[in-house]
Structure 1
Amino acid sequence: MNGKKILFVSSELVPYLPENPVSLMSYEAPRMVNSSGGQIRIFMPRYGNINERRHQLHEVIRLSGMNLVINDMDMPLIIKVASIPKERIQVYFIDNEEYFKRKGTFTDKEGNLFPDNDERAIFFAKGVVETVKKLNWTPDIIHVQGWMASLLPLYLREYYADEPIFADSKIVTSVYDQGFEGALNADMGKKIAFDGIDESKIAPLSTPDYNNLLKVAVDYSDAIILASEGVSEDLQQYIESLQKPVLPYVSVQESEEAYSNFYKTEVLK
């Protein structure tokens, strides 16, 4: 991966959130690329349960300050950064007081999904793209992990279709069995349509549950990684029907060689 630029966009990442399959591979994949000479950028949301003092997050004034329009509302975008010391990896955090200050990741204390998770996902997708544009950094590969990041492929290919910085970027989406119960806000499709994206392109989101969110993500991806052994049969069959390059599940121990070969031979071919 020497010299290749890979943008990692993740819902969760260790050491900032507890370890689970998504947060662990969201750390391991960039670490592998970084150690093999690739250039990386990592983005994640700045959830309110991330300890800013312990992890030494600080705002990047030159990148912050713009407003993103979400469902006809102006929402300020704040960018923070921190470093993973032992790996010398910098992480960019997408922040907004309204969406990310609360002390929870996806659910409240009772385990109920936040009712605005759909808007948080839209904000995150737009925030990542606008920040990368400001950085003027052209990724060869954009690797998406976790459902909060799953609208990024759609927005890149539709809303930002004319952005030259991403014209040659390849999108990879990792699909996990770790999702959420129930569905997001029933008006999610309408909020995305507000951005000029035809509702026919997001038909699965008439029921915005986990599987349908991932179906939209893989629709707009160039390649797919099965990052769990237990991906639902419904999702697996849908992915097979797309006839796109797919990396079958491999363990964390096997992932370095497998991911590197997949990037080189299937994604960048």
Structure 2
Amino acid sequence: MESKRVLFVSQEIHPYLPENTISSTTLALAKKTNDSGHQVRVFMPRFGVINERRHQLHEVIRLSGMNVVINDMDMPLIIKVASVPGARMQVYFIDNEEYFKRKFTYADADGKQFEDNDERTLFFSKGAIDTVEKLGWKPDVIHVHGWMSALVPMYLRLFQADNPIFKDAKIVFSAYDNGFDGTLGPKLKAGMEFDEIDPALCEGLDAPTCEDLQLLAAKYADVVILGEENTGHVEEFCKANNIPCIDGKNFPEDPAEAIKVYESLLVEEDVE
């Protein structure tokens, strides 16, 4: 198959964050896709725990001056970029002083989840989409990883269906067992409704759990991949809604299997 463009949107990527299933899977899939001759772009949040000097992050000046609207607030969007060690591949970091400067990821030193994780989720998902559009980079496949990226499929389907950059892209969502305890706050749903998403599509998101976000992402995906154990609820949802669902727990060791998924989606598109 000729070279295609694959966009990865993930909340964690190694080596910028500690190695775990989601961070190592995202890295393995992106590197293998890149090494296979496809074009790759990777996006993740610029959490404050990421050492900018060590990883040589620098701001993308030509993308400066962008804002993301969260509810009725214009929040500055800062884009930084770094090259993955040992790979000819770049990672773009979605940054904002208020949301990501703190020296933690999702919870404080006592393990308490940040109250604004609802807004941070909105900001990251919308910021990644806006940045890709600003770059003018048209992906063939968009692979979304984890709960903090879970709004990306919905926002693409509802707001970008006629956008030449995104309208032909196939969406893949990977679910993992790296969620959060409890629920996110009410500003997630409020922000979605401020963006004029039909309230009927936001039902059940007043205080969304990690499972709620995973099912929301799965609903708007072309294919769902189960990246870890304890994702049976996602599998059941996919079966009930006729959404293709694949066991991808071996993908970190055999990333070529993920590329087969991408290629199968694009072959189906060519046949259609």
Q: TM-score, normalised by structure 2?
A: 0.94
Contact 2:122/2:188 (8 A) holds in 1: no
Alpha-carbon distance in structure 2 between the residues aligned to 1:131 and 1:181: 30
Whether 2:249 is the aligned partner of 1:250: answer: yes
Alpha-carbon distance in structure 1 between the residues aligned to 2:129 and 2:187: 23
- The 4+ residue runs of structure 1 with deviation greater than 6 A are none
Deviation at 1:256, TM superposition (A): 2.2
The percent of aligned pairs where both chains have the same amino acid is: 51
Alpha-carbon distance in structure 1 between the residues aligned to 2:116 and 2:252: 37
Contact 2:6/2:141 (8 A) holds in 1: yes
Deviation at 1:257, TM superposition (A): 3.0
Alpha-carbon distance in structure 2 between the residues aligned to 1:204 and 1:225: 23
Deviation at 1:71, TM superposition (A): 0.8
Alpha-carbon distance in structure 2 between the residues aligned to 1:115 and 1:263: 36
Give the residue type in structure 2 aligned to 1:46. Answer: R
Deviates most, 80-89 or 203-212: 203-212
CA RMSD of aligned residues (A): 1.5
What SS class does the counterpart of residue 174 from structure 1 fall into?
strand
Contact 2:94/2:124 (8 A) holds in 1: yes
What SS class does the counterpart of residue 77 from structure 1 fall into?
strand
Alpha-carbon distance in structure 2 between the residues aligned to 1:122 and 1:139: 21
What SS class does the counterpart of residue 82 from structure 2 fall into?
strand
Matches within 5 A, 1:1-269: 2-231=2-231, 233-252=232-251, 254-266=253-265, 268-269=267-268
Alpha-carbon distance in structure 2 between the residues aligned to 1:221 and 1:77: 26
Alpha-carbon distance in structure 1 between the residues aligned to 2:97 and 2:9: 20
Q: Deviations over 1:26-77 (max 9, x none)?
A: 1011011011101000000000010000000000110121111111001011
Contact 2:43/2:128 (8 A) holds in 1: yes
Alpha-carbon distance in structure 2 between the residues aligned to 1:133 and 1:235: 29
The gaps in structure 1 that reach 5 residues or longer are: none
Deviation at 1:268, TM superposition (A): 4.5
Deviation at 1:157, TM superposition (A): 1.1
Alpha-carbon distance in structure 2 between the residues aligned to 1:240 and 1:142: 22
- Compared CA separation, residues 168 and 102, structure 1 to 2 (3 A): same
Deviation at 1:85, TM superposition (A): 2.5
Deviation at 1:260, TM superposition (A): 1.8
What SS class does the counterpart of residue 201 from structure 2 fall into?
helix
Alpha-carbon distance in structure 2 between the residues aligned to 1:112 and 1:186: 17
What SS class does the counterpart of residue 62 from structure 1 fall into?
helix
What SS class does the counterpart of residue 158 from structure 1 fall into?
helix
Contact 2:44/2:94 (8 A) holds in 1: yes
Alpha-carbon distance in structure 1 between the residues aligned to 2:195 and 2:267: 30
Contact 2:24/2:252 (8 A) holds in 1: no
Q: Deviations over 1:208-239 (max 9, x none)?
A: 000001111011111111111331x3322112
Alpha-carbon distance in structure 2 between the residues aligned to 1:198 and 1:170: 23
Count of aligned positions: 268
Deviates most, 194-203 or 243-252: 243-252
Alpha-carbon distance in structure 2 between the residues aligned to 1:244 and 1:268: 18
Deviates most, 181-190 or 45-54: 181-190
Deviates most, 182-191 or 253-262: 253-262
Alpha-carbon distance in structure 2 between the residues aligned to 1:192 and 1:167: 21
What SS class does the counterpart of residue 205 from structure 1 fall into?
coil
Contact 1:173/1:223 (8 A) holds in 2: yes
- Compared CA separation, residues 104 and 248, structure 1 to 2 (3 A): same
The gaps in structure 2 that reach 5 residues or longer are: none
- Compared CA separation, residues 109 and 164, structure 1 to 2 (3 A): same
